[in-house]
Structure 1
Amino acid sequence: MNADVPLQFGWARAAELGLGFRRITDDDLAFLARVHASSRVDEFAVAPWPEAQKAAFVHVQFNLQHLHFQKQHPDADWLIVMRGGEDIGRLYIVRWPTQHRIIDITLLPEYRGTGTGEALLRDLMDEAAGVGKAVSIHVEKHNPAMRLCRRLGFTVEEDEGLYNLLRWKAPRTTALKLVRSR
């Protein structure tokens, strides 16, 4: 892990994959926009717009989303996910008193389906379990990440139309074992 973002409960899986994190800066906005755009390719593939219009729309969408996220969650960790010094995605997380809310986790296409997202989610789950908290995330119903979240034990807490609010709760024994071992 990058020294800029201290680890709380080891993040062993991320470390095994050579992943690190750094806090976003204004210099990262172009990269973050590219990550966002990469997650929208499929839904805009069928839009009958010229490519320039699609790109402009997705760019405006990113800017509005970015501003909204930062306004709604000023205390969140806004992180670039790195591998071998290369920026490969984004992870936005806020740690509330009762839960860790993943605001967003998106990887560039070449890193999807490689176990990277699963490693990040499992490490987040371990961190939350260690402090007796749940993990929640909004996932679009048709996003392939929905299968991963369900496989990891996330359940639908709320149907919000296009999105489902998913929640994972640590088994009680996990939190107790961590508390007892201290």
Structure 2
Amino acid sequence: MRSPELHLRPAEEADLSFLRGLYASTRAQEMALTGWTQPAIEAFLDQQFDAQHRYYQEHYQGSDFSLICQGEQAIGRLYVFRGPTTLNLIDISLLPEWRGQGIGTRYLQALTDEADAGGTSIRLFVEPANPAKRLYERFGFGVTGSNHIYQQMHREAVPALAVPA
């Protein structure tokens, strides 16, 4: 019997096709504005996905590269690097039909709870116009830097309230 529950599982080589499609879905609005042909868009997105995937694998060795699954169905990805003092939220994305249902919030809450319990901060990079930026701000992230594409956001650990003995 298939479980309807959300869960994470490690991404595998066999998941590359899904991950490539997920990546393309995150850039669909942007690509619609280019005026490019569909084959040109697909070629560009394939190249961009390959470059991103290779970069993540090389620069974030030891990370958790996970698929977000609803039962057996992959619906998104969650990539996290756990450093000694900082959790790096490398990426969280969901297929369009799964966005806006609180799934990203659930996993971001789990990460902030983990960071708070361990006394670690969280860092991420986001495009300024990405709707997820509002979610990050609600969780206490603030912009700490930027380049011409991404804003760096950071959240310090929130210590648990001291309970008197």
Same fold at TM > 0.5: yes
What is the match of residue 156 of structure 1?
143
Q: Distance in 2 between matches of 1:51 and 1:157?
A: 37
Q: Alignment length, in residue pairs?
A: 162
2:85 counterpart of 1:98 = yes
What is the match of residue 172 of structure 1?
159
Q: Distance in 1 between matches of 2:92 and 2:158?
A: 23
Does the residue aligned with 2:36 lie in a helix, a strand or coil?
Answer: coil
Q: Distance in 2 between matches of 1:129 and 1:66?
A: 29
Q: Distance in 1 between matches of 2:158 and 2:107?
A: 19
Equivalences for residues 1-182 of structure 1 within 5 A: 18-173=5-160
Q: Distance in 2 between matches of 1:133 and 1:122?
A: 14
Q: Distance in 2 between matches of 1:45 and 1:20?
A: 32
Show structure 1 runs of 4+ deviating over 4 A. none
Q: Distance in 2 between matches of 1:89 and 1:19?
A: 11
Offset of residue 170 of structure 1? 2.1
What is the TM-score when the length of structure 2 is the normalising length? 0.93
Offset of residue 151 of structure 1? 1.4
Moved more, 85-94 or 161-170: 161-170
RMSD: 1.7
Counterpart amino acid of residue 32 in structure 2:
A
Q: Distance in 2 between matches of 1:27 and 1:98?
A: 32
Does the residue aligned with 2:9 lie in a helix, a strand or coil?
Answer: strand
Counterpart amino acid of residue 106 in structure 1:
S
Counterpart amino acid of residue 133 in structure 1:
T
Where do 5+ consecutive residues of structure 1 fail to align?
A: 1-16
Where do 5+ consecutive residues of structure 2 fail to align?
A: none
1:32-88, Cα deviation, whole Å (9 max, x unpaired): 001100000011111021011101100110011000110001110110110122100
What is the TM-score when the length of structure 1 is the normalising length? 0.84
Offset of residue 18 of structure 1? 2.2
Counterpart amino acid of residue 51 in structure 2:
L
